[in-house]
Chains A and B, each alone.
Chain A
Amino acid sequence: MDYSFDNSDVSSIGAAPGQIENPGLGWETVHMTNIGIDLTFLQNRLSVSAEYFKKVNKDMIMERNVPYITGSWSLSDFDEGNSNPLVNLGSIQNSGFELTLGYKITKGDLKASFDLNVSTLKNEVLDLATDSLKSGKVHTITPISMTVIGGSIAEFWGYEIEGIFTTDDPIRNINGKPVIIDQPYFIEENGDTAFAQPWVRPGDARFKDVSGDGLINDDDKVFLGSPLPKFVFGFAINLEYKGFDFSAFINGTFGNKIFNGTKQYLYYYQETDNHAAEYANRYVENDIYKYDPVLGQEVLVVPANHNTDIFRDDPANYAQCSDFYIEDGSYLRLRNLVLGYTLPSSLTEKIHIQKLRFYVGARNVFTITKYKGLNPEAAYSTSSAQDDDNRQNLDMGIDVGAYPLTRMYLVGVNLQF
């Protein structure tokens, strides 16, 4: 933003706002409604707590794409550039039920309690001051999600894949290049046939031409699911019988999708590093040989593989958001398990010990999930790979490979004097 007034090669320093100012920016407001009921039955043995909640956030503050007339233009790399203003963008509603059930029973020496809680969440974008907000980025894949009015916040948005091109697909020579013709196309003004994916070879992904116009572009991207679960649940059991005690805690989610960002690295991006096990079964056009200096000859390192649905190693197959990356994030996890035994106090008091308890237990015992990444929970949090931290609130359900959980086995003694 500097300029020279004296025609010398030294500029005067200029300064202007780096982010467009919005003089009308106001506070965000939250409107909450909660209706709940707490009941107990059977002489307090069964307790039921139910609540309906509805929360509407209005005038939410976010960055917004705005017209150039605001001054927001920058030549991609022209000096500091201008960033978009903060605006009171729109309104989002979260609603759902929370249900907690508890049951306690005492029968002789047996004491037992069971607690279950389930809560549902429905998220709806009521208003946005812009058509859509695109968000999410993992390495070169962006955008990953889109938020639109009437939808749920930050739903995954990308291509559907209909399968894989194979050597059985018919090929025609066009301008000296082989083109697979078994795919969407349109007729250009000059009568030529233009194919949707003219460059594809056997082993490439077939992106679905949803709009039916013979092109593969943004018009063919569809919503691929929400990172928000339909419900989350937890279940706890506590049992005591004579000196023995047992407790277990299970929790999980249902109905959420995860963008498995680790797949980009494990299938394509890191050529020399580790790969997913499935990568071994990828499409390989021809046998790959490599010179072995010990044997002094070429050896077959990767055999040709045509009978597979794992795409060949090419960025076109992996560098855009598609349902290849979207996985079911539902899970059920036995998070905590403890079995203990407390010696009778009549025994221990003789050696002046109030309580002596031995126990064994485990944490993160098992997880039932279809998700192939390291941990379905990791994708709950904000993506750490996002370059633009202004959009973090919209980076939901994107797994970029957080540290996995450890399974712990515990053996212990509780001693009280």
Chain B
Amino acid sequence: MKLYKFFSFVLLGLVIGSCSDDYLDFQPIASQNSSSFYLTQAQAEQAVTAAYAILASRTGFDRDISLYMSDVASDDCEAGGDFENEVQDAEVFNRFTMLPSNVHLDDSYGLLFRGVYYCNVALEKIPYVLEVDDEASPAIINRRVAELKFLRALYYLYLTHIFGEVPLVDHVLTGDEYEQPRASFRELFDLMENDLLEAIPVLPEKGALSAADAGRATKGAAKALLARVYLFESSYAHYSNNDSRFANLTEKWADVLDYSKQVIESDQYDLLGIKGETYSTWHGPNTDGFRYIFTTEGENAGESVFEIQFIRDNLAYTYTRGGSLIQWVSPRYYDDNSGTQQETNYWGLGWPTESLADAYDEGDPRFKTTMSSQGDSIEVTGGDRYLINFDNTATGYYQNKYVLAASEFLDNSTHRWHKSPYNFKLIRYADVVLMAAEAEFMLNHNAEAMDYVNMIRTRARMCGGAANTVPANLDAITFQNIVDERRRELACEGRRFYDLVRWNLATEYLGGYVTPGGFATQFQSPKNDFMPLPALEVAVSQGALVQYPGW
């Protein structure tokens, strides 16, 4: 009887154990465990690096969380591809026919909570390094702790964007804590606020970063993220105050304004091209400022508050720290010299909609950077340019912010598929300026609000050259101006659906939406304000996690 022998062995273990507990406390010699690992500053650094690495997980932030869950879900983009509903697990986010078993829900929820876990492990372990490593620098360790708090707040903000209320996990869970209910929005916003308030005094300004640290969290990034946290709390409280999920949230427009203004007044950031400056990029020697933001040359430049540092690392498809978005959204077809439709090797998802195109005034320079349209060309293998063929798009547009030179992507065949070195922007300075505008407007400071919106419009206008007059400055401001300006400025950057829900406008913009193929989307508020929790997670929670009504 096998079991019998096995149990005898366990018994023997207990007998030995009764002599002295020390006999049993062996450290494994073949592998590190958490009590033998976090002993030096170098190991502390590695723990923090792992928490950042979540950002660069293949298809996580750039595709699932930004493209599928926000832009495709919104009125800005169709799921697209070779034809409508080609990529069915993306189209369900366009049509709101997703099921709780959708794999991208598991991947997003799992990835973000894995990020929270890496932050929690490091937050619990690395302060101890100062006690055991004489050479460890308290300044560095304290700064890393602040970076971890920034990241934890960032991961939690995205969790609430996508899923609404989720369990609050602020430490490494023990075996009896695995089944957790949703925490309230109040508790979750408090966690994010506290983390960021603790991080802000410790983090350095962007200008103080060495080149080696260009991708790290800064004081400005933490302030901008805190402004965004306050913006979402204030918006839910203001626009959805009859929804019990948002009870106990309060409007904190003054705080939104305070922190976004601190970023603006920190003198660390610029709206690139606002004075008509041009830059040399792969597009040409006189690339305008708005286009420059969306090039590899413009990475971590003056407009960048926080972005994912994707790289060209030559690692295999599953291990790479390259980005995936270029592969997914760049135009799928071009016309060769004989006018025959040819494939580019990109997949052409996320077609911008007619309604997004109509949001731009005729001649707004941001239009051509945001989307390509009939007459535009694309570099294909070898760097030759050909006309893009839009026959397979139902809208007539492809995305154009996240595109690359052929030499940076297609010509590096070993770098293709999900392996673009092109950083993805999570927080852009223009977003901060628009947060300030919105906060001023909500505080009834209309003149100040209009000034901020006009900063954004001026930069856009200047990108068309000194003679360009579009978009003109506003001479009066309405709430609709702010909604529309955010859309035009931040389209295809993963913000739109989260903004629509925040304003409680999703029903208005998505309620009657019909896809080009004639499919009426199933969006209903409040059911679809947030995605369903992953079915597996609900099942394994032993009843602790409950879907929102309607799921």
Quick check: B2 and A7 within 8 Å, CB to CB?
A: no
A3, A55, A232 — most chain B CB neighbours (10 Å)? A3
Quick check: A85 and B107 within 8 Å, CB to CB?
A: no
Q: How large is the interface on A (under 10, 10 to 19, 20 to 34, 35 or more residues)?
A: 35 or more
Chain B hits for A381, CB < 8 A: 2
Is A417 part of the contact surface with B, judged by Cβ < 8 Å? Answer: no
Closest chain A CB from B68 CB (angstroms): 15
Closest chain B CB from A324 CB (angstroms): 26
Chain A hits for B174, CB < 8 A: 22-24
Contact of A396 among B2, B11, B179, B319 (CB under 8 A): B2
Quick check: B106 and A73 within 8 Å, CB to CB?
A: yes
Q: What mask results when residues 193 to 207 of chain A are scored 1 for a CB within 8 Å of chain B, else 0?
A: 000000000000000
Instruction: List CB contacts (< 8 Å) of A366-388 with chain B.
Output: 380-382
Instruction: List CB contacts (< 8 Å) of B500-551 with chain A.
Output: 534, 536-537, 539-542, 545
Contact of A2 among B49, B114, B118, B215 (CB under 8 A): B49
Is A342 part of the contact surface with B, judged by Cβ < 8 Å? Answer: no
Is A70 part of the contact surface with B, judged by Cβ < 8 Å? Answer: yes
Asked, given contacts A12-B49, A30-B11, whether A66 binds B178 with beta carbons under 8 Å apart, the answer is yes
Is A27 part of the contact surface with B, judged by Cβ < 8 Å? Answer: yes
- Please report the C-alpha to C-alpha distance between residue A380 and residue B537 in the assembled complex, in whole angstroms: 35
Closest chain A CB from B338 CB (angstroms): 37
Quick check: A24 and B176 within 8 Å, CB to CB?
A: yes
Asked, given contacts A12-B49, A71-B114, whether A7 binds B423 with beta carbons under 8 Å apart, the answer is yes
Quick check: A71 and B2 within 8 Å, CB to CB?
A: no
Closest chain A CB from B434 CB (angstroms): 26
Chain B hits for A17, CB < 8 A: 33-34, 121
Quick check: B53 and A14 within 8 Å, CB to CB?
A: yes
Asked, given contacts A17-B121, A65-B540, A73-B113, whether A7 binds B215 with beta carbons under 8 Å apart, the answer is yes
Chain A residue nearest to B118 (CB atoms) is: A16
Quick check: A3 and B215 within 8 Å, CB to CB?
A: yes
Chain A hits for B536, CB < 8 A: 68
Instruction: List CB contacts (< 8 Å) of B189-244 with chain A.
Output: 211-216
Asked, given contacts A69-B173, A88-B175, A130-B540, whether A9 binds B52 with beta carbons under 8 Å apart, the answer is no
Interface of B is mostly: helix
Is A11 part of the contact surface with B, judged by Cβ < 8 Å? Answer: yes
Is A79 part of the contact surface with B, judged by Cβ < 8 Å? Answer: yes
Chain A hits for B122, CB < 8 A: 16
Closest chain A CB from B343 CB (angstroms): 26
Is A77 part of the contact surface with B, judged by Cβ < 8 Å? Answer: yes
Quick check: B319 and A79 within 8 Å, CB to CB?
A: yes
- Please report the C-alpha to C-alpha distance between residue A4 and residue B423 in the assembled complex, in whole angstroms: 11
Instruction: List CB contacts (< 8 Å) of A1-34 with chain B.
Output: 1-18, 20-25, 27-30
Is B43 part of the contact surface with A, judged by Cβ < 8 Å? Answer: yes
Is A41 part of the contact surface with B, judged by Cβ < 8 Å? Answer: no
Asked, given contacts A22-B175, A66-B540, whether A15 binds B107 with beta carbons under 8 Å apart, the answer is no
B-to-A contact residues, CB < 8 Å: 1-4, 6-7, 10-11, 14, 17, 31, 33-34, 37, 43, 45-53, 55-60, 106-107, 109-111, 113-114, 116-118, 120-122, 166-167, 169, 172-176, 178-180, 211-216, 299-300, 309, 311-314, 318-319, 321, 421, 423, 534, 536-537, 539-542, 545
Task: Provide a sorted-by-A list of 25 A–B residue pairs whose CB atoms are within 8 angstroms.
Answer: A4-B311, A6-B213, A7-B299, A7-B311, A8-B311, A11-B311, A14-B49, A15-B43, A15-B46, A22-B174, A23-B172, A30-B10, A30-B14, A68-B106, A68-B534, A70-B169, A71-B117, A73-B107, A73-B110, A74-B110, A75-B59, A79-B318, A94-B4, A94-B7, A129-B175
